[in-house]
Amino acid sequence: MNRLIKYTIYTIAISVILLVSCQKNPNWNTKILTPIIHTRLDVGDIFGDTNVVVNPNQSWSVVVQQNINMLQSGNVVNLDDTVSKDIFTLPFMFTIPPGQKVIEKQNVTPLNFNGMELLLARASVAKMKFYVTNTIKHKLLVKYTLHSASLNGVVYEVEEDVPAATDTTNAYVIKTIDLDKYDIDLTGPNKDSYNQIYATTTVWVHPDGDTAIVTPTDSVIIISTFDEFQPEYARGYIGSQIFKERGSSSLNVFNNFKSGSFDLQSIKTVLDIDNFVGADISVIINEFSTKKNSTSTKVSLNNPIIGSAINMSRAAESNDPNYPVYPQIKTYDLSNSNVDNMIEIMPDSLIYDITAELNPLGNVGAGTDFIYFNKRLRAKLNLEIPLNFSTNNLIIEDNSSFDFDNDNINSGSINIYIENKFPFSVNIQFYLLDEQNNIFDSLLVKNNLIPSGIINANGFVSAPTSTTLEVKLDDYRISTLRRSHRMLIRANINSEQNKTYKLYEYNNMDIKIVGDLSYGI
Amino acid sequence: MEFKRFLLLIIIISLSNIVIAQTKENKALQLRYDIFKEINFSTEYDLGSYLNNTFLKSYYTGNFIDEDLKNTNYDRLKSEKNPFGISSITKLQFRQLPETMLGKHNMGYSVVFQYNYYQEFEFTSDAYNLALYGNKSYAGKNANLNNMRINNQSFYQIKSGLFFQNRDKYKEYGFQVALNIGNQFHNYSSNNAILYTNSIGEYINLKGEFQNQQTSYLENNKTQGIGGGIDLYYQINKRNSYFIRVELNNLGFIYWDNKSSNYNKTENLEFNGIEVSNIFEMPSPLLSTTANDSIKNYIASNSTIGNITTFTPSDFKLSAQYFIKDNINISTLFNYRFFSVYKPFYKISLKYYFSDKLYLGPNISYGGYTKFNIGMEFQTEISHNFVLNLQTKYLSGLLINQFSGIGAFLGINYKL
């Protein structure tokens, strides 16, 4: 009996302890049938939502507006580094009590702006350095007043203590002066000149020091330099200069289009040239091309605008700080040129080569020119491409990051149910990429063809076709999915019967991804 | 049928206890009319289900649940209202019957600190199928999720009360008032609910009336609610012959804080997978977000936040004991638990007294979180002021895994 009691107590105690303290996650296998992703692929997904518009008749057009900022190379304004260099010496020996002025000097420095005759300049970033060397064995007080520089009407000045020299070493002070956003009046002390910067330097024996004995061998050297100057705005006569510039601008609309071809039926193309400079500009477009860098294919614009002088009159200043310039705009319709050929290569960049001459007729503005350095000359290309086209082995690719971080899937399949309402058939494949972006597995083993929608006699898709693609999840595929974190999706698109079709809003591909999984809980 | 036979047996025995009053000498049934002070400690753990112990042990010990085990247990289930529950009640009580109290000689008082933990589910056989086999077998079909219920809660209680003894009529009655300190609460229930899986899995549809109430934290170490309750009891003892006790424990409520959430809607939810605006931008991770996550997120975003008031699980107990011989006692218990998935519980025990200080005997029970079980009860007086009581309803479940239920009761009485 006692043994029975002991056994009972022991069993109860062990069971209770086991249940309360050692609860672990159980596991079993289930068969799960669950939707995973629902998505719809439409024209906006292919060309980018911001690049497509729906026309009143519900057809799609791709709209591309590409701005190309020109005259960016080189600085229009160059400044000499050194603004002033003053060496102060006394011809005789003087005894100067504390607080008494040693010397005061006005300094008017002409600046070289490469033929510009500027009255006013402003820099987004302007840093001056102020160097003082003192050989006098007494502490000095130096004041530097830059009369030309003002911010909200307050002239810039700085006072600096200069320590006394010793028997063996001179004393030095270096100070950085921040003149960001300061207006720099370049008209000189009498306001009747240009390119002049005006400053006053004053030196005292320091009021806190002793009486100084200054000999002719003593000196105070004060140097001011522009350490950094990024011009933002200038006014005056900005000179007559010729610029040659060749540049490029990236075009992202066809980034996913890798190879094959498509044939566009018509493209409406407008080129605007905007002059934001307050001076006359004569522009010659030497070259305007599109280029697909992966194949080095380039097509140049063939239009009378190429090589002809485009004379732009000067822009005007507004008083609106947000939009300070009324540009002068010239518009050219290029629709009857070879722009369709330029686009059919699926370009990824626009290339331009221009020659521009500022003030070709000289100082006709009588010193009223202006320039905002961040916006000078802009070409704006406006393309409107009705999606009425045929495709032949057009290959679209894109990468997608994914994470198959799921240890619970034992086997099964991922079924992709597609309803295609495009007038194009699509051969699709999902490639798994390794860390070096090399393909090491593809997901669709059997069928990977998505037939086009059913097209009626009028060329419209009258009904979708339904296709099921299956990704078998065997041990090997699960291991490759876990290894990879990037997927390359490649679609080979062909027009049904190689005909030309117009794309409408209802043309899309409905995609449902369903997991049919043996899942370990 | 087996249950009806068992119920009939209990009724007959209970009536026999009362009608046939015989005089027996045994201290175990005597009420203590002398003044006393005592400390009682008891803890009871009760885990049961219509699922058998092999399944429960596999579940709780993290073992693999294979197809045979799933199939065996599926056959044990009814279509609806299958329980799975854990209850744990631990109590420390001080009782005193002083010589006089408030001028009375038969009035005593008690102070109790008690911890209550309930984790309960009531599920359909289809829900078991969905959880254990997956939803693929329901492709193109409805799964019945009607009358599903979750009731999880834990709370502390501080109780104090008075009791009265009547020497002449051998009866005692009393009450305790409780301050309930709520830790956590989660209650889910569904009505007319079905889950439909499309034949190829394109969508999963869940519809029905759903209620979900829960505190902001589902943790036992928080204080998120406060409330009150009452215990009542009445017992009579025909000296040395029979003993009858009726009691109502934990009839009370908890007022949970204003961060609690309450969801109560008739819904028709369709899960079509994660909506992705661009196929080239797949969700990451690819396969961890499931319909279950979406439903949970939906419930969370459609709940109102604020105070909720809930009733605590409350036990009504009717027990009776009778000595059929000098050293053989038969006792019965009926327990009905309100606000719980606990089924009406019936128990009959047979105790053999080896001496005044020691008894041992079997019990047979039906109901609660499970069905039939056989157990054992044991009590010994270790010293003149120290009594140890051990019981289990689930000896059958411990020894034979095809039974269901795991649990035990430990009681200690120490007279000061």
pLDDT tens digits for range A427-475: 888 888 888 888 888 888 877 889 999 988 888 899 999 999 888 888 8
Domains A29-47+390-520 and A82-237 share a fold: yes
| CB-based contact A261:A394 (threshold 8 Å) | yes
Instruction: Determine the average pLDDT of the residues in A493-519.
Output: 85
**Among B291, B201, B138, B141, CA closest to A470:** B201
Q: What is the pLDDT of residue A1?
A: 38
Q: Where are the beta strands (DSSP E) in B54-170?
A: 64-65, 82-97, 107-123, 142-144, 149-166
Interchain proximity A35–B139, CB inside 8 Å:
no
Q: Flag whether pLDDT at B54 surpasses 60.
A: yes
Q: Mean pLDDT across chain A, nearest whole number? A: 83
Q: What is the pLDDT of residue A6?
A: 42
Q: Where are the beta strands (DSSP E) in A215-295?
A: 219-237, 242-250, 257-264, 268-275, 281-292
Q: Flag whether pLDDT at A103 surpasses 80.
A: yes
Q: Percentage of chain A with pLDDT > 90?
A: 17
Q: How far is A461 from chain B (nearest CA, A)?
A: 22
Give ipTM to 2 decimals: 0.71
Instruction: Determine the average pLDDT of the residues in A117-125.
Output: 89
The pair of structure tokens assigned to B323 is 């000595």
Q: What is the pLDDT of residue B288?
A: 53
Q: Flag whether pLDDT at B3 surpasses 60.
A: no
Q: What is the pLDDT of residue A506?
A: 87
Interchain proximity B58–A26, CB inside 8 Å:
yes
Q: Where are the beta strands (DSSP E) in A20-114?
A: 27-41, 52-54, 60-70, 82-89, 94-96, 101-110
Q: Flag whether pLDDT at B293 surpasses 70.
A: no
Residue B235, beta-bridge partner list: B172, B245
The pair of structure tokens assigned to B251 is 């009839």
* Confidence bin at B178 (pLDDT 50/70/90): very high
| Strand-strand pairing, A509-520 and A409-420 | antiparallel
* Confidence bin at A322 (pLDDT 50/70/90): confident
Q: Which residue ranges make up each domain of chain A?
A: 29-47+390-520, 61-68+240-368+376-386, 82-237
Q: Flag whether pLDDT at A487 surpasses 90.
A: no
Q: How far is A512 from chain B (nearest CA, A)?
A: 7
Q: Which letter does DSSP use for residue A179 in this model?
A: -
* Confidence bin at B237 (pLDDT 50/70/90): confident
Q: What are phi and psi of A23, to 5 degrees?
A: -70, 125
Amino acid letter, B95: R
Per CATH, is B2-415 categorized as 2.40.160? yes
| CB-based contact A157:A143 (threshold 8 Å) | yes
Q: Flag whether pLDDT at A216 surpasses 90.
A: no
Q: What is the pLDDT of residue B365?
A: 95
User: How many CB pairs below 8 Å do chains A and B form together?
Assistant: 165
Instruction: Determine the average pLDDT of the residues in A89-103.
Output: 83
Residue A381, beta-bridge partner list: A66, A271
For residue B316, CA distances in Å to A56, B62, B231, B245, B247 come to: 75, 35, 10, 11, 6
Instruction: Please identify, in words, the CATH class of the domain defined by A82-237.
Output: mainly beta
For the ranges B58-67, B101-110, B163-172, B331-340, the lowest mean pLDDT is seen at: B163-172
Q: With beta carbons under 8 A apart, name residues in chain A contacting B279.
A: 37, 39, 41, 45, 400, 489, 511
* Confidence bin at A91 (pLDDT 50/70/90): confident
Q: What is the pLDDT of residue B162?
A: 95
Q: Name the residue with higher pLDDT: B292 or B72.
A: B72
Per CATH, is A29-47+390-520 categorized as 1.10.357? no
| CB-based contact B130:B290 (threshold 8 Å) | no
Helix, strand, coil % over all residues of chain B, rounded to 5: 15, 55, 25
Q: B291 touching A, CB under 8 A? A: yes
Q: What is the pLDDT of residue A20?
A: 44
Instruction: Determine the average pLDDT of the residues in B105-112.
Output: 92
Interchain proximity B139–A33, CB inside 8 Å:
yes
For the ranges A98-112, A251-265, A377-391, A422-436, the lowest mean pLDDT is seen at: A251-265
Give tens-digit pLDDT for A13-72.
444 444 444 456 778 888 988 888 888 888 887 777 777 888 888 888 888 887 878 776
In CATH terms, the fold of domain A61-68+240-368+376-386 is Jelly Rolls (2.60.120)
| CB-based contact A136:A241 (threshold 8 Å) | no
- The count of other CB atoms within 10 Å of the CB of residue A521 is 14
| CB-based contact A243:A74 (threshold 8 Å) | yes
Nearby residues of B18 by Cβ (< 8 Å), 6 or more positions away: B242, B244, B320, B322
Q: What are phi and psi of B124, to 5 degrees?
A: -95, 165
Q: What is the pLDDT of residue A448?
A: 84
For the ranges A4-8, A309-313, A376-380, A394-398, the lowest mean pLDDT is seen at: A4-8
Interchain proximity B287–A36, CB inside 8 Å:
yes
Amino acid letter, A69: N
Q: Flag whether pLDDT at B28 surpasses 80.
A: no
Q: Flag whether pLDDT at B269 surpasses 60.
A: yes
- The count of other CB atoms within 10 Å of the CB of residue A440 is 12
Amino acid letter, B235: Q
- Per DSSP, helices labelled H in B269-357 are 291-301
Q: Which letter does DSSP use for residue B135 in this model?
A: S
For residue A117, CA distances in Å to A111, A192, A198, A231, A259 come to: 10, 12, 16, 15, 54
* Confidence bin at A496 (pLDDT 50/70/90): confident
* Confidence bin at B24 (pLDDT 50/70/90): very low
Amino acid letter, A440: F
For residue B325, CA distances in Å to A406, B13, B17, B24, B25 come to: 66, 14, 12, 8, 10
**Among A381, A374, A337, A373, CA closest to A248:** A381
**Among B281, B237, B250, CA closest to B91:** B250
| CB-based contact B347:B224 (threshold 8 Å) | no
Q: What is the pLDDT of residue B96?
A: 92
User: How far apart (Å, rounded) are the C-alpha atoms in residues A187 and A172?
Assistant: 32
**Among A266, A471, A299, A278, CA closest to A384:** A266
Interchain proximity B274–A36, CB inside 8 Å:
yes
| CB-based contact A84:A107 (threshold 8 Å) | yes
Q: Flag whether pLDDT at A516 surpasses 60.
A: yes
Q: What is the pLDDT of residue B15?
A: 38
For residue A25, give the chain B residue with the closest CA. Answer: B62
Instruction: Determine the average pLDDT of the residues in A315-327.
Output: 89
The pair of structure tokens assigned to A322 is 């947000």
* Confidence bin at B336 (pLDDT 50/70/90): very high
* Confidence bin at A477 (pLDDT 50/70/90): confident
B 12-51 residues with CB < 8 A to A: 45, 47
Q: Percentage of chain B with pLDDT > 70?
A: 86
For residue B65, give the chain A residue with the closest CA. Answer: A28
Sign of torsion over alpha carbons B96, B98, B100, B106: positive
For the ranges A162-171, A322-331, A378-387, B309-318, the lowest mean pLDDT is seen at: A378-387
Interchain proximity B277–A37, CB inside 8 Å:
no
Q: Percentage of chain A with pLDDT > 70?
A: 93
For residue B400, CA distances in Å to A239, B52, B361, B374, B394 come to: 104, 10, 19, 10, 10
Residue holding tokens 């190309």? A68
Optimal mutation site among B286, B289, B392, B399, interface A, most CBs of chain A within 10 A: B286
Q: What is the pLDDT of residue A4?
A: 37
Task: Name the residue facing B286 among A24, A35, A402 (closest C-beta).
Answer: A402
Residue B317, beta-bridge partner list: B247, B335
* Confidence bin at A340 (pLDDT 50/70/90): confident
| CB-based contact A236:A116 (threshold 8 Å) | yes
Q: With beta carbons under 8 A apart, name residues in chain B contacting A12.
A: 390, 392, 398, 408
For the ranges A10-19, A328-337, B301-310, the lowest mean pLDDT is seen at: A10-19
User: How far apart (Å, rounded) are the C-alpha atoms in residues B187 and B341?
Assistant: 11
Residue B285 preceded by cis peptide, ω within 30: yes
Three-point CA angle A82, A83, A88, nearest 5°: 95
B 194-233 residues with CB < 8 A to A: 197, 200-204
Q: What is the pLDDT of residue B279?
A: 62
Q: What is the pLDDT of residue A465?
A: 94
Q: What is the pLDDT of residue A116?
A: 85
Q: What are phi and psi of A229, to 5 degrees?
A: -150, 110
**Among A260, A250, A161, A254, CA closest to A203:** A161
**Among B41, B168, B30, B43, CA closest to B95:** B41
User: How far apart (Å, rounded) are the C-alpha atoms in residues B135 and A521?
Assistant: 13
Q: Which residue ranges make up each domain of chain B?
A: 2-415
